[in-house]
Structure 1
Amino acid sequence: MKRIWINRQGSLRMGWKLLAVFAASMVLNFVVNGLLSLKVNDRTLFGQNGFTDSLKAPSLYFAIVVVFAAAVLEKWSLSSIGLTNPLTGWGKGAAGIVSGGVSCLVVILLLGMLGYAVFPDGLLGADWHRLNVAAIFTSCLFPAIGEELLFRGYGLKLMTGSFGRNGAIVASSLLFSLMHGANTGVTALAFLNIGLIGLVFALVAVRSGSLWFPIGFHFAWNFVQGSLFSGAVSGGGGGGLIPVNDVGKAWLSGGAFGIEGSIWATPILALLVVIAAGWRFKETAGGWNRSGLSA
């Protein structure tokens, strides 16, 4: 009974820490956005549609608060939450970028072949005037860094202490889905697919002890979806070079949520989960146990 009580207490502390980090991130985002919206004589003090727009992404503040909580409050090394030396982790990041970009492109082209995505100007009809540089930061880069640090870094390490490694992988993926639950166009299918992506990221993070692959994958997926093509990114919008319109019912095309809401994305994401799980289990069976994400 005593051991169960300790686990419950640990789980409660873990929950409050995650909630505190999330709340602090939202407050910091609110404060910064408030300052950027200040006006003098009916004119916005810091301008609009410029560099300051890239500072309005909530996920940027996930990264800031998580690093502070891990390094200052918990006194952990950043490598213990997967933020390893980029000079040694660039290969994993590059592999993640290639994997994420190719995976997203496969889903988009599949939807095009099936008639659920239409490209009015053709696949080569890129319009550089449509490029939204700020959106590359707010919809692609900052979510990749901030969300991976929160869910697959700090959160995964905390949850491993309460649920064990496998339980933490599942729990972090569930929380990742829940965070997208209020996004535009979200459906049960979108919730499932986001969870599958979360499982891929968590499995690879645990296997490699590094967040660089998940960050690279996450960034490339969002970039191809929202900045190369003009599709919705998990319910958000971004200026893309190649116009694309969804056609048909949301569960087929993805609808307003984006391709993660399509049933045709599900088997591809499920295959990625199997690959990531098999990769991890193969390494574990061989005695590998060097993950910096271990509790």
Structure 2
Amino acid sequence: MELSAFRLRRFRFPVLFAVLFAVMLAVVGIDTLVAPVPLLALPVGIGLAALGIACYRWLSRFVEGRGELPELAGDRWRGLGKGAALGFGLFCALMVLIAVFGGLDGVGWHSFPGFLGLAGMMFSVATMEELLFRGVLFRILEERAGTVVSLVVSSLLFGMTHLVNVNATFWGALSIGLTGGAMLAAAYVLTRSLWFPIGVHFAWNFAHAGVFGIAVSGSEDVPDGLLRTTLNGPTVLTGGSFGPEASLFALLVCSVATVLMLRRAVRGGQVLRRSAKAR
């Protein structure tokens, strides 16, 4: 029994990553099935997020032998709301910049039920991606290589996963890595909690699809959001077929947030300059 547990801990990264990746795919599949019924998609999405967190807790204890999970500590759950406020504000700032420079072609009311359904879907997806990329990939890599290396590697891998989307472009995927990947990693480093980056991730995607009704990260389907927004102009301004996340304004907005969070993290001693083993 002890030998079996030792082997699991030795290969903890591939085991955790593979299982949570499979769970994430299942979550996306279920979200897709219930998407046509928005009032069902909302509670299902929230339930799937809770299930994903429970799965992460169980795996961390069974595979890694960890008793306490500070990244999911109950006393830090308020970071979810703070992160949501930040993510929503940042995406709104991005849209304001695009509008000011003439990239907003039209906007109108669309679907309130769709708005509710997308809240559940985006919450479950954001939760699973944060558990996978920040909870597993970033956390374990940081223990071995330090914060800087982990931030760069996890951000690039996070961006590259978006190449599978229908309208994906190399620049779009790189932009996601430089903006979303780095910003979410910085949110985790600053708070040492997954609640804050989950909130940021959810609110950014929800504002993107659920509020403004713009396809997310090169997706082919235009979401039934509260509004239906169309963009028009140079790719550098609007992000082209990939969406506003590939615009230079997204890079600007997210980079400012990332730098400010990392600066606070450095001052607070939250940045690991070398691996835990080296210590």
Q: Answer yes or no: same fold by TM over 0.5.
A: yes
Hey, what does 1:66 align to over in structure 2? Answer: 56
Q: Which residue of 15, 21, 24 corresponds with 2:22?
A: 24
Distance 1:289 1:26 in 2: 28
Distance 2:165 2:268 in 1: 36
Matches of 1:14 and 1:252, distance apart in 2: 42
What TM-score comes out, normalization by structure 2 length?
A: 0.78
Q: Taking structure 1 as reference, are residues 28 and 101 closer, same or farther at Cα in structure 2, changes over 3 Å only?
A: closer
Question: In structure 2, what is the equivalent of residue 175 of structure 1?
Answer: 157
> So what's the TM-score if we normalise by structure 1?
0.74
Q: CA RMSD in A?
A: 3.5
Residue in 2 that maps onto 1:193 = 175
Identify the residue that residue 229 of structure 1 maps to in structure 2.
212
Q: Is the 8 A contact 2:104 2:230 kept in 1?
A: yes
Once the two structures are superposed, residues 229-282 of structure 1 have per-residue CA deviations (whole angstroms, 9 ceiling, x without a partner) of 111122344221122102124343123322111122111222112111111111
1:203 aligns to 2:203 (yes or no) = no
Deviation at 1:28, TM superposition (A): 4.4
Unpaired runs of 5+ residues, structure 1, are: 1-11, 38-45
Give, in angstroms, the shift of residue 227 of structure 1: 0.9
Alignment of 1:243 with 2:228, yes or no, is: yes
Residue 108 of structure 1 aligns with which residue?
A: 95
1:27/1:173 CA distance change after superposition, 3 Å? closer
Relative to structure 1, the CA distance from residue 71 to residue 157 in structure 2 (aligned partners, 3 Å threshold; closer, same or farther) is: same
5 Å matches for 1:241-280?
Answer: 241-280=226-265
For residues 24 and 98 of structure 1, what CA distance do their matches in structure 2 show?
A: 30
Counterpart position of 1:49: 37
8 Å contact from structure 2 (residues 27, 124) kept in 1: no
Q: Hey, what's the Cα distance between the residues in 1 that align with 2:82 and 2:194? A: 12
1:22 deviates by: 4.8
Aligned partner (choices 156, 160, 165) of residue 138 of structure 2: 156
Distance between the aligned counterparts of 1:47 and 1:228, measured in 2? 16
Contact 2:83-2:198 at 8 Å conserved across structures: yes
User: What SS is found at the alignment partner of 1:243?
Assistant: strand
Amino acid at match of 1:278: R
Structure 1: how far apart are the matches of 2:136 and 2:86? 24
Identity, % of aligned positions: 26
Residue 83 (structure 1) aligned to one of 67, 72, 76: 72
Cα separation, partners in 2 of 1:230 and 1:127, compared to 1, 3 Å: same
Shifted more, 147-156 versus 234-243: the winner is 234-243
Q: CA deviation at 1:27?
A: 6.6
Deviations 1:122-176 (A, max 9, x none): xxxx3445634322222x2112211111111122222123322322222221221
Code of the residue aligned with 2:259 in structure 1: it is V
Q: Which segment is superposed worse, 154-163 or 272-281?
A: 154-163
Report if the CA contact (8 A) 1:194-1:260 is conserved.
yes
Report which of the two structures shows the higher radius of gyration computed on alpha carbons: 1
Partner of 1:99: 86
